[in-house]
Amino acid sequence: MAATRLPGTPRLLRALNDRAALDLLLTRGPLTRAQLGEMTGLSKVTASQLVERLEERGLVRRVGEQAGGRGPNAQLYAVTPSSAHVIGVEVGPDCVVAACADITGTVTSRVEQSTKDTDDPVGVVHNAVVQAAGEAGADMSSVRRVVLGTPGLVDPHSGEISFAHDLPRWHRGLLADLRRDLNIPVFFGNDVNLAAVAESSTGAATGVTDFALIWIGRGVGLATVIAGRLHQGATGAAGEIGYLPVAGAEVPHNASRRGVKGAFQSIAGADAVKAIGKQFGFRGAEAADVVRAAVAAGPAGEPVLDELARRLALGVAATCAVLDPPLVVLAGEVSRAGGPALAERVEAEVAAITLVSPKVVVTAVPSEPVLHGALRMALDAVRDEVFGSTTD
């Protein structure tokens, strides 16, 4: 049988080599041509041609020199930060926060826009995006993608949002309006899913391919990562754990109506946390304040943590009995306030009531996980676009 010729193989190899070199420069740069050759296994000649090709396209630049032994100093190369920018946006009921990052992942600006006195979501997002780009010194033409993190469902096929009850003016058709207004690719992302993206990138789930993230804040939510990929479900509703039926809690039969609480939300959401605290003498303006006070109280606050962990374990156990992930991350304001003391209790409770025993930890993302998840999702896509087009 005659051997089949693979058309375009040299071009494909060049593209693969270019991408490997760019990834190395992002993670380990700046590097010399010789170092790139050693790390990629390419010859000196091929590595030099690769660097010249990337430099001509404006994707890498010279940033210094490295002194060696004999002969002239070797040039150091790094990815050109201004070759592309992305903007991540976190949308809440009271304000919109936008941040701009260059293609290396360096966050170069952060701005806030109030949503209290406007009924124009397009205008609010427009102003936030333009201001974030301006403060970063980035021309709008270099902004390749905007990702907005919002509550509610994001349809995996159309990209539209629905059931964003905290954002009554955000509606179907808004995505197209934003794309027309900004003339940039714009995408919505569910806020809890984006928190999981951030956790996988820089948090407690770094290097973990299968994990679940439970968000406990004003609301409750779930994100699952399976084989390194977010699982969104057929309609984007995967993770709406607030509607999980729980024995003993009222199960609504009109769950899609605005203001209706699901069973798990009713026993583990912010109002329930405040009620638990009040039962044991702890009060606060927010649910996280109640949990924080209980932790600070030592033994006197343990009943609050015990009861909260018992309730959270019902949702965690239901998730883990189906997916059996090795890791569960507790995120959100309440989880952060509870810290390791809450995580350890949830882990023990889950192991006691099911046959699974995942490790349960608190988020390790320092701040604004939804915003940073939006930036990371945008960066991953734009790097594929920009770095993947090196042979065009």
pLDDT tens-digit readout, 93-110: 888 999 999 999 999 999
Average pLDDT of the residues in 29-56: 90
**102 part of a folded domain:** yes
Host domain of residue 164: 85-193+370-389
The span from the CA of 333 to the CA of 216, in Å, is: 7
Q: Cα separation of 82 and 91, whole Å?
A: 26
CATH code for the domain of 17: 1.10.10.10
Same domain, residue pair 67 and 98:
no
Q: What is the Cα–Cα distance from 366 to 140, expressed in whole angstroms?
A: 29
User: Per the domain annotation, does 120 fall within a domain?
Assistant: yes
Q: Which residue has the higher pLDDT, 114 or 281?
A: 281
| pLDDT exceeds 90 at position 321 | yes
Single residue among 45, 63, 79 that ends a domain in this structure: 79
Q: Do 310 and 358 belong to one domain?
A: yes
**What are 209-265's pLDDT values in tens digits?**
999 999 999 889 999 999 999 999 999 989 899 989 988 877 777 656 666 678 899
Q: Answer yes or no: do 61 and 103 share one domain.
A: no
Whether residues 157 and 30 fall in one domain: no
The count of domains in the chain is 3
The neighbouring-strand residues paired with 162 are 153
Read off the tokens for 136. 């970063």
What mean pLDDT is predicted for residues 84-101? 93
200 domain-assigned: no
Taking only Cα atoms into account, the Rg of the chain, rounded to an integer number of angstroms, comes to 24
Please write the tens of the pLDDT for every residue from 340-365: 999 999 999 999 999 999 999 999 99
Lowest mean pLDDT among 180-189, 297-306, 380-389: 380-389
Instruction: Clarify whether residues 274 and 182 are in a common domain.
Output: no
Closest C-alpha to 51, from 71, 81, 73, 30: 30
Q: Are residues 171 and 111 in the same domain?
A: yes
Look at residue 161 and give its three-state secondary structure.
strand
pLDDT of residue 2 exceeding 70, the answer is no
Alpha-carbon distance of 174 to 187, in angstroms, equals: 11
Same domain, 99 and 184: yes
CATH at 119: 3.30.420.40
Rounded mean pLDDT of the chain?
90
